Amino acid sequence: MRETPLSNCERQFLLTAIKEKKRLDGRQTYDYRNIKITFGTQYGCCIVDLGKTSRVLAQVSCELVAPKENRPTEGILFFNLELSQMASPAFEPSRQSELLVKLNRQLERCLRNSKCIDTESLCVVSGAKVWQVRVDVHVLNHDGNIMDASSIAAITALCHFRRPDVCVQGEEVTVFTPEERDPVPLSIYHMPICVSFSFFEQGTYLLVDPCEREERVMDGLLVIAMNKHREMCSVQSSGGIMLLKEQVLRCSKIASVKVAEVTELINKALENDKKARYVFEFL
């Protein structure tokens, strides 16, 4: 099914509203929508809601595989983002759209290339057996800013995930079930989080966390991935607009504030979940 076209009147209205520093849902220019993080019953399952409409689910799983030949002592990380039709009727199933490729690439750059996960700790037997950690991100509802929601969901799911404990005796590898030995968390060095900025009127106006309709009117997008130590992990600009140095610097400053807030939120959510699980175990 085709996407609902954007009418001229919506476009006009959005642009005048942005000029007057107003947004459709009453947010300020630099405001995020309300972020809600919930966990599934399994370890490594995380759902992130942005406002009432955007919703993303991330699920982490792992299995023992042979390592890559050139990196015999490193575990493998695999990311896969999917845009199902459920999210928006405009997404076509089983087609590699430009948006899908862009999102997948950005997620990989944000989480794998930033080396936030210790891949060497995922090695079981050098050159023979390593853990392959797979992160599946499903977009359940699309109302703009899939990137930020997926990056939050993916990193939270990775923090939440526990892999089965293993024991190596000589050549023999034993994998323990959760009943035998408590599963162990992954070692995560830092938490990179993407923050999207959309630009209007050739970069004159800037909005944080654009919703779907704003994304359709925008001229360009800048995605900055950063951790709470203010280390930049990736910067991606799309839409082909020229940005000034000051603008990028200003964006990075805003990003650092937002990332600190989001990291706080994630830690709180993880803590709450831990407590809930602890109580549940003793019941």
Partner 1 sequence: FPLRRKRVLLLRGKNTEAMLDSFKERVGEVLLPGDVFSFESPGSESNIQDKVICGPGLRRNGDEILVCKSGILRHKEPNLYWIDSQQKRYVPAKGECVIGIVTAKSGDVFKVDVGGSEQASLSYLAFEGATKRNRPNVQVGDLVYSQFIIANKDMEPELVCIDSSGRANGMGVFGTGGLLFKVSLGLVRKLLVPQSEIVKDLEKIFPFEMVVGMNGRIWVKARSTQQTLIVANILESCENMTAQQRRTLFKKVAQNAS
Residues in touch with partner 1 (CB under 8 A): 1-2, 4-13, 16-17, 20, 22, 24-26
| Pick 7 or 169: Cβ nearer partner 1 | 7
Three-state DSSP class for 162? strand
Q: How far is the CB of 47 from partner 1 (least distance, A)?
A: 22
| Pick 79 or 91: Cβ nearer partner 1 | 91
**In contact, 54 and 146? CB cutoff 8 Å:** yes
192: closest CA among 112, 98, 96?
Answer: 112
Report the alpha-carbon distance of residue 222 to residue 252 in Å, rounded.
10
Q: How far is the CB of 24 from partner 1 (least distance, A)?
A: 7
Phi, psi dihedrals of residue 60, rounded to the nearest 5°: -105, 140
Q: How far is the CB of 18 from partner 1 (least distance, A)?
A: 10
Q: Measure the CA angle with vertex 262, ends 152 and 15; round to 5°.
A: 85
Q: Measure the CA angle with vertex 103, ends 119 and 270; round to 5°.
A: 55
From residue 170, give the alpha-carbon distance in Å to each of 121, 124, 125, 167: 18, 12, 10, 10
Q: How far is the CB of 20 from partner 1 (least distance, A)?
A: 5
Q: How far is the CB of 159 from partner 1 (least distance, A)?
A: 35
| Pick 25 or 264: Cβ nearer partner 1 | 25
Report the alpha-carbon distance of residue 173 to residue 225 in Å, rounded.
38
| Pick 176 or 205: Cβ nearer partner 1 | 205
| Pick 55 or 228: Cβ nearer partner 1 | 55
Q: Which residues contact 172 (CB under 8 A, 6 or more apart)?
A: none
Q: How far is the CB of 10 from partner 1 (least distance, A)?
A: 5
Neighbours of 228 (CB within 10 A): 18
Which amino acid appears at position 167 of this protein?
Answer: C
β-bridge pairing 129-141 and 76-83: parallel
Q: How far is the CB of 213 from partner 1 (least distance, A)?
A: 9
Could you report how far apart the first and last alpha carbons of the chain are, in Å?
49
| Pick 24 or 101: Cβ nearer partner 1 | 24
| Pick 22 or 275: Cβ nearer partner 1 | 22
Q: How far is the CB of 55 from partner 1 (least distance, A)?
A: 16
Report the alpha-carbon distance of residue 203 to residue 123 in Å, rounded.
46
| Pick 12 or 113: Cβ nearer partner 1 | 12
DSSP-derived letter for residue 117 is B
